[in-house]
């Protein structure tokens, strides 16, 4: 019998896993563990007990509905202050001191995911969304410098994680609106595709598989992400892009998904949730792998009932590649 780690790797590499890999809440089980530098330079404060300031100087606020807050005050409002921006030291030893303890507590049979640094979200946490979008056209050199700083942070982090045996490397960049990319795909390819390619190459060279969480409509750059070296796309929404359109990429990338968190989980009947598990699996998986079942980690914030979570998880555990 394969270990959870072996099964996950075979899933991602389309090498005939024994079963459908899953990352689900107790009591349903998870094939993956998680570890991170502490604190992560890309940490997003929950701010549930009042406004918080992150290491870059961004002030976060939470209205109390979700686990995560949002940035209300950006630390770099004017590029004239770039030299005074507080840039955390990703190699500071205190960040890595807890890794041995984290790994000692981890289940060695599981696939271990390491937490990286976002290449887009951190920029708009620093500059704000509107400024980031206009920087693409008005401040391209400064924008590129900031992207390069984040790339270098990831390259340094990858070396640290590789030294302790990480299996995968993940960070989060929500690129989509509901029906299109936030920026022009051409500008994404100009500024961000080379950055992703550098990070993913470093991860692969270090023996790690690559993961990206991205919400919204990202079909316009999915080919580019695959070309840049992305192995696994963690997509919490699928219906805004369409399962059939996403299915055109099956066999080229592994999809790591819950039942659509916007349309089906909060509004569907239990039977609709169960049917969606099978429809998504049939359209996104291949007989040789390529699908990881997931749950959404902030069910209260997304309006997911426990009944819906149980229906989804139980149905996910019935999926079988032999039916494809």
Per-residue pLDDT at 48: 67
Per-residue pLDDT at 46: 75
Is-contact 285 324, C-beta < 8 A?
yes
Query: Cα dihedral sign for 88, 91, 97, 99?
Result: positive
Does the pLDDT at position 65 exceed 90? no
Query: Which CATH code fits 4-39+87-323?
Result: 3.20.20.210
Closest CA to 263 of 239, 279, 283: 239
Band (pLDDT 50/70/90 cuts) for residue 143 is: very high
Is-contact 238 218, C-beta < 8 A?
no
Assign 94 to helix, strand or coil.
helix
Is-contact 282 319, C-beta < 8 A?
no
Report DSSP state, residue 13.
Answer: T
Band (pLDDT 50/70/90 cuts) for residue 324 is: very high
Does the pLDDT at position 41 exceed 70? yes
Does the pLDDT at position 68 exceed 90? no
Closest CA to 277 of 259, 265, 294, 257: 259
Q: Find all residues with CB under 8 Å of 186, minimum gap 6, and list them.
A: none
Band (pLDDT 50/70/90 cuts) for residue 69 is: confident
Per-residue pLDDT at 107: 95
Does the pLDDT at position 59 exceed 90? yes
176-193 pLDDT, tens digit each: 999 999 999 999 999 999
Per-residue pLDDT at 213: 98
Does the pLDDT at position 47 exceed 70? no
Per-residue pLDDT at 62: 86
Calculate the dihedral angle through the C-alpha atoms of 55, 32, 298, 76, rounding to the nearest 10 degrees: 20
Per-residue pLDDT at 296: 97
Band (pLDDT 50/70/90 cuts) for residue 254 is: very high
Q: Taking residues 105-110, what's their average pLDDT?
A: 94
Q: Taking residues 80-105, what's their average pLDDT?
A: 96
- Residue percentage of the chain with pLDDT more than 90: 94
278-309 pLDDT, tens digit each: 999 999 999 999 999 999 999 998 999 999 99
Query: What token pair was written down for 125?
Result: 């946490």
Q: Taking residues 188-208, what's their average pLDDT?
A: 98
Per-residue pLDDT at 63: 80
Distance between CA 111 and CA 209 in Å, rounded?
Answer: 10
Distance between CA 168 and CA 126 in Å, rounded?
Answer: 27
Does the pLDDT at position 104 exceed 70? yes
Does the pLDDT at position 66 exceed 90? no
Q: Taking residues 114-137, what's their average pLDDT?
A: 98
Strands (E), the chain: 21-23, 32-35, 52-53, 59-61, 70-73, 111-115, 168-172, 209-213, 232-234, 254-257, 291-294
Q: Taking residues 269-273, what's their average pLDDT?
A: 98
**Which strand (E) or helix (H) includes residue 283?**
helix 270-284
Does the pLDDT at position 67 exceed 80? no
Per-residue pLDDT at 51: 86
Q: Describe the crossing of helices 193-205 and 140-163 by its angle, rounded to 10 degrees.
A: 10
Query: Cα dihedral sign for 133, 147, 230, 5?
Result: negative
Q: Mean pLDDT, the chain, as a whole number?
A: 96
Does the pLDDT at position 263 exceed 80? yes
Q: Taking residues 29-46, what's their average pLDDT?
A: 94
Quickly list H helices, 164-269: 185-191, 193-205, 219-228, 243-247
Does the pLDDT at position 50 exceed 80? no
Closest CA to 142 of 210, 185, 81, 229: 81
């Amino acid at each position: 019998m394969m270990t959870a780690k072996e099964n996950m790797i075979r899933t991602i590499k389309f090498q005939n896993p024994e079963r459908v890999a899953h990352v689900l809440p107790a009591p349903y089980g998870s094939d993956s563990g998680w570890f991170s530098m502490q604190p992560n330079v890309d940490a997003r404060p929950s701010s549930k007990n009042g406004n918080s300031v992150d290491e870059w100087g961004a002030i976060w606020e939470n209205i109390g509905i979700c686990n995560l807050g949002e940035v209300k005050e950006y630390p770099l409002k004017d590029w004239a202050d770039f030299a005074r921006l507080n840039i955390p030291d990703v190699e500071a030893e205190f960040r890595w001191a807890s890794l041995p303890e984290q790994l000692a507590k981890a289940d060695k049979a599981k696939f271990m995911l390491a937490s990286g640094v976002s290449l887009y979200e951190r920029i708009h946490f620093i500059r704000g969304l509107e400024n980031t979008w206009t920087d693409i056209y008005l401040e391209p050199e400064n924008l590129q410098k900031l992207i390069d700083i984040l790339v270098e942070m990831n390259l340094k982090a990858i070396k640290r994680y590789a030294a302790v045996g990480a299996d995968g490397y993940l960070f989060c960049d929500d690129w989509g609106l509901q029906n299109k990319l936030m920026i022009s795909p051409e500008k994404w390819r100009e500024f961000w595709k080379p950055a992703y390619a550098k990070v993913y190459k470093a991860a692969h060279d270090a023996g790690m598989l690559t993961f990206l969480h991205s919400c919204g409509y990202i079909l316009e750059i999915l080919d580019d992400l695959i070309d840049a070296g992305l192995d696994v796309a963690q997509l919490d929404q699928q219906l805004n892009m369409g399962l059939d359109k996403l299915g055109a990429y099956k066999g080229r990338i592994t999809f790591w998904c819950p039942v659509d968190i916007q349309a089906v989980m909060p509004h569907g009947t239990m039977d609709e949730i169960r049917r969606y598990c099978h429809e998504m699996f049939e359209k996104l998986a291949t007989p040789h792998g390529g699908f990881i079942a997931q749950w959404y980690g902030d069910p209260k914030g997304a309006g997911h009932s426990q009944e819906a979570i149980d229906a989804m998880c139980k149905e996910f555990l019935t999926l079988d590649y032999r039916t494809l």
